[in-house]
């Protein structure tokens, strides 16, 4: 049975849904937590159905219950059991496990997550799964949405204010993907009481912890106040410095400035496992001792520590520019930052690759354009040096002799999921290893996987294909680009580097519409991609077989300042931030602010 939803529209508190079905399937709403269905009033005209739900009369005389209601169809009783699902619909078993996991108390979930146990490995019994399939007899499979409708979901939420605006009911249509990466939609109903002080969060143990850390910083700052211009390089989502951080640090040392600007370094991954109190206090102590702090990427300690005015906090940001939305550009989407209590708002400065990126990263970080320094990316300072390129290429050829024998295709997609702890890539849905191998054999090519470092699961390349398909995710992408003949990516910013080498880029985006709706894109791939865009795997394979790369002139915002050959970005950072010099092209012109 299939349902194709063509339109969703509001008329007062009435939600109208227009869909087509070939076998008389009925669209319903289901609240997983309370295991309740809500039926839409339907008018059928052949295959076309016009369904309506009054959210003020969701069930009986009361409004629709708060929570998330899934657009679904009801599974017949004979199919609502584990035995049937295991053989006919294994995806429903995975979804049932995830729902059972969500039913666990949060404290229990956290305990198992620390042991690297999630919904897929938790020891649910067959009886538990079978009971869940019977009590939640739903499926979202076979329900599709038109691309035009998916593109409008961000415009279909409604807020209904009542009692003089003191209360509100919010009805939000939320595009999502389930644990099998299947697209579905939820109607979220939330009831709110007006908050006249939105800067103040509701009291909780988490808020108490934040206040305690903030107070500790204030005390530590008085006691450990920096002796001189101490520079801290701090990273909280990895154990080593990023290339940008290392470039600034190394330049500082090369210029013989480490005595005038003593260096402290702290690198750890707060997302891998539960962090003890001592580790957080050490981070805060390091901040308290420092006059200048450089960070790269999200640094959660600054969600609860607001450095004083004597501290200069600079986000060196590893990426040039891509398509996926990050920071405040995805506000309102799952994983978006708090509008008040966010590390991004603390930055005194953030680095960007060129002046055209100020407006983009002003939105991302929620800071004014004047705080964005157009230094260029420090990690690219030596990227185009012939000597450096030659050394790296020789190293790659010695390590991987096959790189000299054919065309090298480097595949470097971004992750799916909300962030580091949930990152994954749907290999089974988007990759056909056999077809890739055949294409490589016919064209004398090697297909190299270079997966995002957030993604723990590596591609399971079958042994018979490993002579052509390679997983080099442990290598640095910057190095692999020297040996690449073509880069394949999706919404990632890694093409920014590849453009400097004047090599072709292919954008493989089989989930373009769904990704835009669930994760968000800041700029359209179709409109801005400097290369051919492939929406299907067959199209992707065809482009690689024929080497049908498009030569598309990149937007000027995609070209780093390193092409100017007007000095190094790391020097510009040091001069502008540490020495407070006026460096040409770095700061926003006064008449532009």
Q: What is the pLDDT of residue 469?
A: 97
DSSP β-bridge partners for residue 359: none
What are the phi and psi torsion angles at 41 (to 5°)? -75, 125
Q: Quick one: angle between helices 205-224 and 277-288, nearest 10?
A: 40
On whether the CB atoms of residues 8 and 155 are closer than 8 A, the answer is no
Beta carbons of 251 and 382 less than 8 angstroms apart: no
* Sequence-separated (6 or more) residues with CB below 8 Å from residue 568: 251, 378, 381
* pLDDT one-digit tens code per residue, 459-486: 999 999 999 999 999 998 989 999 999 9
What does the pLDDT read at residue 592?
Answer: 57
| CA–CA dist 210, 161 (Å, integer) | 32
Please, are residues 83 and 77 in contact by the beta-carbon 8 Å criterion? no
The rounded distance, in Å, linking the Cα atoms of 341 and 60 is 40
Of residues 278 and 199, more confidently modeled:
278
User: What average pLDDT does range 349-361 have in this prediction?
Assistant: 91
How many of the other CB atoms lie within 10 Å of CB of 182?
Answer: 18
For residue 591, what pLDDT is reported? Answer: 56
Q: What is the three-state SS of 536-582?
A: CHHHHHHHHHHCCCCCCCCCHHHCCHHHHCCCCHHHHHHHHHHCCCC
Higher-pLDDT residue of 198, 108: 108
Cα of first residue to Cα of last residue in the chain, in angstroms, is 57
pLDDT given for residue 567 in this prediction:
80
3-state secondary structure of 93: helix
Q: With a cut of 60, say whether residue 593 has pLDDT above it.
A: no
pLDDT for 134 beyond 90: yes
Domains of the chain listed by start with CATH number = 3-193 (no CATH), 205-381+572-592 (3.40.50), 386-561 (3.40.50.12580)
At 286, the pLDDT band (50, 70, 90 cuts) reads: very high
Strands 48-54 and 41-45: antiparallel
Dihedrals phi, psi of 513, to nearest 5 degrees: -70, -45
CA angle in degrees (0–180, nearest 5) for 423-428-430 = 85
The pLDDT assigned to 578 comes to 97
Identify the band that residue 590 occupies on the pLDDT scale cut at 50, 70 and 90. low
Return the pLDDT at 423. Answer: 84
Beta-carbon count within 10 A of 210 CB: 16
Q: Which two tokens stand for residue 152?
A: 């409008």
Q: 368-383: per-residue pLDDT in tens?
A: 999 999 999 999 998 8
Q: Distance between CA 26 and CA 17 in Å, rounded?
A: 12
Type and span of the H or E element at 264:
strand 263-267
Instruction: Write a three-state SS string for 421-449.
Output: HHCECCHHHHCCHHHHHHHHHHHCEEEEE
The gap from C-alpha 67 to its chain's centroid, in whole angstroms, comes to: 24
Statement: residue 543 has pLDDT above 80? yes
Give the tens place of pLDDT for each residue, 65-79. 999 999 999 999 999
Mean pLDDT across the chain: 90
Mean pLDDT of all residues in 14-23:
93
pLDDT at 223 over 90: yes
Q: How far, CA to CA in Å, does 518 sit from each of 63, 138, 283, 566? A: 27, 22, 34, 41
Q: How does DSSP classify residue 502?
A: T
DSSP character string of 162-221? ETTTTEEEEEEEEEEE-TT--EEEEEEEEEEE--S-TTSPPP-HHHHHHHHHHHHHHHHH
Structure tokens, 529: 């991609």
Residue 309 has pLDDT above 70, yes or no: yes
* Rounded Cα distance, 572 and 570, in Å: 5
**pTM across the whole model:** 0.83
State the burial class of residue 197 (Cβ atoms within 10 Å of its Cβ: 0-12, 13-18, 19+). exposed
User: Rounded mean pLDDT of 21-43?
Assistant: 91
Tokens at 99, concatenated: 């729902």
């Amino acid at each position: 049975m299939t349902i194709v939803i063509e339109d969703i529209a509001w008329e007062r508190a009435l939600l109208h849904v227009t869909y087509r079905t070939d076998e008389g399937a009925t669209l319903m709403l289901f609240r997983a937590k309370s295991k309740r269905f809500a039926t839409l009033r339907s008018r059928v005209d052949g295959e076309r159905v016009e369904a309506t739900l009054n959210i003020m009369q969701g069930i009986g005389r009361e409004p629709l219950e708060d929570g998330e209601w899934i657009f679904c169809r009801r599974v017949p009783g004979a199919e609502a059991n584990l035995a049937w699902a295991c053989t006919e619909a294994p995806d429903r078993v995975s979804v049932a496990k995830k729902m059972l996991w969500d039913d666990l108390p949060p404290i229990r979930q956290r305990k198992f997550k620390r042991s690297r146990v999630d919904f897929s490995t938790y020891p649910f019994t067959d009886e538990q799964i079978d009971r869940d399939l019977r009590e939640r007899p739903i499926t979202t499979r076979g329900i599709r949405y038109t691309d035009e409708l998916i593109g409008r979901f961000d415009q279909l939420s409604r807020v209904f204010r009542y009692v003089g605006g003191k209360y509100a009911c919010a009805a939000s249509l939320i595009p999502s993907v389930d644990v099998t990466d299947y697209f579905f939609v939820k109607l979220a109903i939330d009831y709110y009481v007006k908050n006249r002080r939105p800067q103040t969060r509701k009291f909780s143990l988490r808020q108490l912890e934040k206040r305690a850390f903030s107070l500790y910083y204030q005390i530590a700052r008085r006691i450990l106040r920096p002796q001189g211009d101490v520079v801290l390089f701090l990273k909280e989502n990895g154990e080593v410095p990023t290339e940008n951080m290392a470039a600034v640090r190394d330049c500082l040392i090369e210029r013989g400035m480490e005595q005038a600007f003593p260096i402290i370094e702290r690198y750890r991954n707060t997302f891998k496992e539960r962090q003890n109190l001592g580790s957080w206090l050490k981070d805060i102590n390091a901040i308290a001792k420092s006059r200048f702090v450089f960070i790269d990427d999200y640094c959660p300690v600054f969600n609860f520590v607001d450095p004083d005015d004597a501290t200069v906090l600079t986000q060196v940001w590893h990426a040039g520019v891509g398509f996926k939305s990050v920071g405040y550009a995805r506000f309102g989407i799952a994983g978006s930052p708090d509008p008040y209590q966010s590390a991004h708002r603390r930055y005194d400065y953030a680095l960007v690759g060129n002046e055209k990126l100020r407006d983009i990263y002003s939105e991302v970080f929620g800071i004014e354009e004047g705080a964005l320094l157009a230094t260029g990316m420090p990690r690219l300072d030596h990227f185009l040096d012939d000597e450096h390129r030659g050394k790296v290429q020789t190293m790659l050829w010695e390590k991987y002799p096959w790189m000299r024998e054919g065309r090298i295709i480097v595949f470097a997609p971004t992750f799916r999921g909300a962030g580091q702890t949930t990152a994954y890539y749907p290999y089974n849905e988007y990759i056909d290893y056999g077809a890739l191998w055949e294409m490589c054999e016919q064209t004398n090519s090697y297909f190299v996987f270079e997966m995002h470092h957030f993604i723990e699961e590596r591609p399971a390349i079958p042994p018979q294909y490993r002579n052509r398909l390679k997983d080099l995710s442990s290598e640095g992408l910057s190095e692999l680009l020297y040996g690449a003949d073509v880069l394949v990516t999706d919404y990632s910013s890694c093409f920014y580097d590849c453009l400097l080498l004047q090599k072709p880029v292919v954008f493989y985006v089989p989930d373009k519409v769904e990704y835009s709706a669930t994760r968000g894109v800041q700029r359209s791939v179709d409109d801005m991609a400097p290369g051919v865009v492939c929406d299907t795997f067959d199209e992707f394979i065809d482009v690689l077989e024929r080497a049908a790369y498009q030569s598309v002139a990149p937007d000027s915002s995609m070209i780093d300042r390193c092409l100017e050959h007007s000095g190094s970005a790391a020097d510009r950072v040091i001069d502008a931030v540490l020495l407070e010099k006026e460096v040409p092209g770095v700061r926003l012109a006064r008449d532009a602010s």
